């Protein structure tokens, strides 16, 4: 049975969205739809144009015997800007204020529609970077890490604060929390990260950067490399920032607990 072009376009769109950053050979599609490669190439040209026009992503064509097509998330500024503005407004809501000047963000981190869009932005920002693994620390960053990883098509590894029998043997490090200056411990399962991996570190919140810095030290223990650092919210007022090169969507400039005011602005996303 042959497939009509319309059916091919629908199914190929779904297939490409499900396999980001993966080189799909034209043969895969030509066998899947029992269609000539020339027809498949025409289909892909239409998909590429629409994906780019509608801000879905890019389609890169690799020619030659080992060639094929690769879909990559690419977020346009027209999508990113209103989303970041909306995020800022949500985060600035005074009822997020908790005792001690902390912010309640659990609802944002539990909302798949927000988390997916954050994941899209991070994946888009690191589209040209080689990344083998996304790393985060339990618990709050996990949904973000997982969303980014699914758009980058790489696994997630989760650093923990406590040891668990189901993790097998672990590597443990001590690190200094940047804001409280307390010594803390983090652990990572030995078999979860291969030597030489290029790792994107993702977290929901960065103050002085002690935790992120801890993850960087953890990577050294595994002879792995930092490919990038991405945080949803960074706090601006910190005496000493331990991490320099990172991406952030939202910047928390000031939290006035008494006056119940939270001041936020755009992070460095558009400056990167």
Q: Check binding of 167 to a copy of itself (CB under 8 A).
A: yes
Write the DSSP string, 25-75.
-HHHHHHHTT--HHHHHHHHHHHHHHHHHTTS-EEEEE-STT-EEEEE---
Applying CB under 8 A, which of residues 93, 106, 163, 265 lies at the interface with a copy of itself?
Answer: 106
Burial track 204-226 (b if 16+ CB lie within 10 A, e otherwise): bbbbbbbbbbbbbebbeebebeb
Q: How many residues bind a copy of itself (CB under 8 A)?
A: 57
Q: Check binding of 49 to a copy of itself (CB under 8 A).
A: yes
Burial track 27-66 (b if 16+ CB lie within 10 A, e otherwise): eebbeebebeeebbeebbeebbeebeeebbbebeeeeeee
Q: Check binding of 9 to a copy of itself (CB under 8 A).
A: yes
Nearest approach in angstroms of CB 220 to a copy of itself is 21
Query: Near a copy of itself by CB under 8 A, which window of 71-79, 134-142, 220-228, 240-248?
Result: 134-142
Query: Near a copy of itself by CB under 8 A, which window of 84-92, 160-168, 178-186, 227-235?
Result: 160-168
**Which residues of the shown chain bind a copy of itself in the complex (CB under 8 A)?**
5-7, 9-11, 13-14, 17-18, 46-47, 49-51, 53-54, 56, 98-100, 102-107, 110-113, 115-116, 138-140, 142-143, 146-147, 149-150, 153-158, 160, 164-168, 189, 191-192
């Amino acid at each position: 049975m042959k497939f009509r072009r319309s059916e091919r376009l629908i199914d190929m769109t779904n297939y490409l969205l499900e396999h980001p950053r993966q080189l799909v050979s034209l043969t895969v599609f030509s066998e899947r739809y029992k269609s000539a490669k020339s027809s498949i190439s025409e289909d892909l040209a239409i998909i590429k144009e629409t994906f780019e026009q509608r801000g879905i992503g890019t389609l890169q064509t690799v020619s030659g015997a080992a060639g094929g097509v690769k879909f990559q998330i690419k977020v346009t500024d027209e999508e990113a800007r209103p989303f970041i503005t909306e995020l800022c407004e949500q985060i600035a809501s005074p009822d997020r204020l908790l005792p001690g000047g902390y912010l309640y963000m659990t609802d944002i981190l539990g909302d798949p529609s927000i988390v997916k869009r954050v994941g899209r932005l991070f994946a888009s920002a690191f589209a040209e970077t080689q990344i083998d693994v996304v790393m985060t620390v339990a618990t709050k960053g996990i949904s973000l890490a997982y969303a980014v990883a699914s758009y980058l098509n790489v696994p997630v590894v989760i650093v923990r604060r406590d040891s668990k029998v189901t993790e097998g043997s672990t590597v443990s490090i001590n690190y200094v929390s940047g804001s409280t200056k307390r010594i803390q411990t983090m652990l990572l399962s030995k078999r979860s990260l291969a030597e030489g991996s290029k790792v994107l570190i993702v977290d929901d919140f960065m103050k002085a950067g002690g935790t992120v810095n801890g993850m960087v030290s953890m990577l050294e223990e595994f002879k792995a490399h930092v490919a990038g650092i991405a945080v949803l919210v960074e706090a601006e007022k910190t005496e000493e920032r331990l991490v320099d090169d990172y991406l952030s969507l939202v910047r928390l400039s000031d939290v006035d607990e008494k006056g119940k005011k939270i001041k936020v602005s755009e992070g460095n996303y558009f400056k990167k």
